[in-house]
Amino acid sequence: MSWGIENQKKRKDILDLMDIGVRKTTANHNYVNEVAKSTNGCWMDQIYGLQRCDICDLTANCPVREEMEWQAYLKENNIVVEKKS
């Protein structure tokens, strides 16, 4: 997230994110070890309780982004995936 220093809005967003992290770990020093796994696979959602793809430094390997791109590809190419039960 070091690239955010040059952009004032992203810098503020990152500082806000850091503040959230400080508040959560100050309230519970074991927060990072005890936090429940995110239901959508987003690490930021898991740790901070919010999803900010625009400031995430792991977007290349993001399961949320990959799923969104996959769904867009399916829609764009009129592909319907049928689940057999």
pLDDT at 5: 62
pTM above 0.95, yes or no: no
Does 39 fall in a domain?
yes
Instruction: Look at the chain and report how many structural domains it folds into.
Output: 1
- The per-residue b/e assignment along 15-53, b for 16 or more CB within 10 angstroms, e otherwise, is eebeeeeeeeeeeeeeeeeeeeebeeebbbebbbeebee
Give the span between the Cα atoms of 1 and 16, in whole angstroms.
Answer: 13
Domain housing 43: 2-58
Does 80 fall in a domain?
no
Give pLDDT tens digits for 26-43.
999 999 888 888 888 888
Of the pLDDT bands very low, low, confident and very high (cuts 50, 70, 90), residue 65 is confident
Backbone phi, psi, residue 58, to 5°: -115, 20
Does 19 fall in a domain?
yes
